Structure formats: C-alpha cells, structure tokens
Structure 1
Amino acid sequence: MTEKGRKKRVYISGQITGLDEREYRAFFNKAEDVLRQFGYEPINPTALDETENTEHWSWHDYMKRDIKLLCGCDYIYLLPNWRNSKGAKFEYMIADMLQIPCLNLQDIQEATE
C-alpha cells in the first residue's frame, strides 16, 4: 500500500480540548519532531490549524478534517494523554477498525537499534 521509498505517514492523536493552546501544541510538536527524527512523515493536525481558517470551526468540523487525514496515514501515534480526549478515542477507534496500526516510541526505538 505504501510506495517504495516514500516515508511512512504517522497521524498524531491526543488531547486538545481542555488544555491551554501552548500546552497541547507543545505535546504535538514534540511528537512531530521525534517522528521526523526517526524518518517518518508526521501528520500534526494542530499545525494545520495555523494554515487553515478554523476560527469558527466546531468540534465536528475538526473531526471531519482529521479523520480524512488519519485515513491517509500508515500509522497512528497516540500521545500519552489520548485517553482524556473524546476525539482521540474516536480516532483510535477508527484506526483500529481500518487496521491502521498504532506506533509507539518503543517501536520506534527498537526499529533503530
């Protein structure tokens, strides 16, 4: 399913609602940096908020966009706080149903040893 030589795309999922913007962006950006460092193409939905006009978006609008992004990925990466998020739990459920495997830091570290 992935083209030879193409970086594996990893969707980052975690809690956003209820956190300060700086806090959740820091979590997502750190995960993006780590994934990129190990040769993956991270898909950070919070980074897209800066390039799209999301000022009047509802939770549903974000989820519709983010589910499309997730469906185009090879893996999902769950931030440690993902269980605190209705949206992240929904993204995990979709990934599970579509057989998009979860990638975790232990997997990444083992693959590079």
Structure 2
Amino acid sequence: MSDASYTRRLSPSTRAALGVFARYGTIIGLLAMVLVFSFLSPHAFPTYNNFINVLSQASLAMIIAGGLTMAVIVGELDLSVGYAASLHGVLVTGLIVANHMPIPLAVLIVLALGALI
C-alpha cells in the first residue's frame, strides 16, 4: 500500500493532527520529558543549577551540530566532525595535563592543528 492511498483515507482532523505533530513533534517531546521529569523529581530537576548543568554538558554537541547543520544545508555530509572534536579534546587535555601547558596556549595550538585538517 502506498503512502498516498493511506493518507487519502485519513480524516481531515487526523491529517491536521499528524501535520502538527510532524512539524512540532520534537518540541512536544521535549516539553513532555521536562514535565515528566519535573513531576518525578520536583526538588532536583526543575532547578536553575540543573538547567545550567544540562546546558554546559550539551554545549559541545550544540556547537558541533550548529556547524554540521551548515554542511547539511549546502548538501554535504561530513562524518569526521565528531572524530575531529574528540581528537582535539584529547589533544588539549594532553597538552594541559601531560605537558603542563597554559590553557590558552594549548587551545591555540589545537585550533591551529584543527585548521590544518
């Protein structure tokens, strides 16, 4: 059965509901998760400190996703972005911990290496 014949049999209200869910499903899912976790753990989850913690842990993924979004928009797909981010994180950590290098210098060196890739 093709998708076209399946959607023709749906009522207009069902089709409209599916359209809303297709467009806003991710946001609806996020709000549902926040509500469930807030209800299950009201003293720990909906706090300012937890919000900042979640944002700080997700910041690297958000930066990478933002950069990768531009590549996808122009029709390219670069799967090495995650590998490069991990490699550069390990390099910065190694320079700081093993070589006792100042943080700004280690970051600049790794940024220069990243520009070469």
Answer whether TM exceeds 0.5 for this pair: no
Which TM-score tier does this pair reach, normalised by the shorter chain?
under 0.3
Taking structure 1 as the reference length, what is the TM-score of the superposition? 0.24
Whose radius of gyration is greater, 1 or 2?
2
- Structure with bigger helix share is 2
| TM-score, normalised with respect to structure 2 | 0.23
Q: Larger RCO: Structure 1 or Structure 2 (Cα < 8 Å, ≥ 6 residues apart)?
A: 1
Q: Higher strand proportion, which one?
A: 1
